[in-house]
Amino acid sequence: MANETKIGLALGGGGARGLAHVGVLSVLAREGIPVSVITGASFGSIIGAMYACNPDIHHLLKEVERALRSDRFQKAKVNFVRHEFEEERRVGLISSFKKFLKRQMFYSVAFRMRQLVSEGEFTQIIDDLVPDIAFEDTRIPFACVATDISHGAEMVFDEGPLRPAVYGSSAIPGVFPPIPYRGRHLVDGGWSNRVPIRPARALGADLVIAVDISEAFQDEPVEHLKNGLELLIRANQVTGRLLCDSQLVEADVVVRPKVGHLHWAAFDQAAVCIREGARAMEAGLEPLRERLDQWQKGDRRPFGRRGGDYR
């Protein structure tokens, strides 16, 4: 593989589904395909930062496993959100009534509180994973995106302290607090850039592999939407899917691990996510090599997906 071709890896957001990024990286490492640039949004910024600091897949796996077992992570309240929606597929009057009551409790809590996890708890979880260094000191060039919630702007960070930018990039609104940084208040980067492809090119990537771990999007009969809030949530899902699709067309290869059915807080499904990430990247190896061959033969169009999605 010619050294002059720089491969960028754009890692999308999706909470626990982002553990699929570990599987993607494991296949690239196994195949000897060097990653020259990494970008991330939301959980993709955490995995991306970890690997950019220490591009050793065995170290990454070990650190992820350690963090998920840690008391600090276990005490975090992210499972509260997941458990409120786990009974979706159960049937019967009693279970339906219980589900209704739990949803009302969740909505009540969500509307009264700005976040479920305090800033201190949240940043400590990130600190356990991401070294306290500058972007300039990562071993692989790295950038992450966050959303300025006050001014409605996408923010791309590729210089200065690493941790605060990752805090902002991964701060899911309503679950984690907005992160004050450089005069702005930052939330999850996935709200402005689902899979940061353009930032990867700005860092010098010639070809970009985009990894999309978005929630599965399926047709939803309007009669299934019981109230105004559910209609609002559905409309937001439509907006997110259209935004993501409009951005993915700029990638050379799109990898979509089959994890969209999992809740973003399903961290107990880590093994499934990693396995599906590896499977999807394996399916994308041949088209990636074809695109590399095209590039090295002079087909150097600035962007554009070739050959569809790989799952």
Active site residue 188: yes
- Highest mean pLDDT among 50-59, 65-74, 212-221 belongs to 50-59
Q: In this structure, what token pair is assigned to residue 286?
A: 């041949």
Q: Which of these ranges, 27-41, 67-81, 207-221, has the smallest mean pLDDT? A: 67-81
pLDDT at 97: 45
Query: At residue 84, does pLDDT exceed 70?
Result: no
Q: Which residues contact 280 (CB under 8 A, 6 or more apart)?
A: 20, 23, 24, 211, 255, 256, 257, 258, 310, 311
Q: SS3 for 224?
A: helix
pLDDT at 10 over 50: yes
Q: Which among 207, 202, 187 is positioned nearest to 142, based on CA atoms?
A: 202
The residue among 16, 13, 129, 178 whose CA lies nearest residue 82 is 16
User: What is d(CA 148, CA 202) in angstroms, rounded to the nearest whole number?
Assistant: 20
User: Which residues lie below 8 Å from residue 122, measured CB to CB, with a gap of 6+?
Assistant: 76, 167, 171, 176, 177
Decide: 140 and 36 in contact? Cβ < 8 Å.
yes
- Which residue, 234, 169, 168, is CA-closest to 195? 169
Q: What is the value of pTM for the model shown?
A: 0.85
Express as a percent the part of the chain with pLDDT over 90.
59
Euclidean distance between CA atoms 177 and 43, whole angstroms: 15
Beta-carbon neighbour count of residue 190 at 10 Å? 30
210: number of Cβ within 10 Å? 28
* Cβ neighbours, 10 Å, residue 118: 13
Model confidence at 311, pLDDT cuts 50, 70, 90, reads low
Q: Which of 66-75, 107-116, 253-262 has the lowest mean pLDDT?
A: 107-116
Closest CA to 44 of 7, 12, 20: 12
42 is catalytic: yes
What is the predicted pLDDT for the residue at 270? 94
Q: Which residue of the set 26, 36, 42, 170 is catalytic?
A: 42
Which tops the pLDDT comparison, 243 or 74?
Answer: 243
Which tens digit of pLDDT belongs to each residue from 186-214?
A: 999 999 999 999 999 999 999 999 999 98
Judge whether residue 219 has pLDDT over 70.
yes
Helix (H) or strand (E) holding 208: strand 207-211
Q: Which of 26, 158, 170, 188 is flagged as catalytic? A: 188
The whole-number pLDDT of residue 308 equals 47
Q: How far is CA 231 from CA 75, 175, 220, in A?
A: 32, 21, 10
pLDDT, tens digit (0-9, with 9 covering 90-100), for 101-155: 455 544 555 555 566 788 888 899 999 999 999 999 999 999 999 999 999 999 9
Q: Burial level of 274, CB count in 10 A (0-12/13-18/19+)?
A: buried
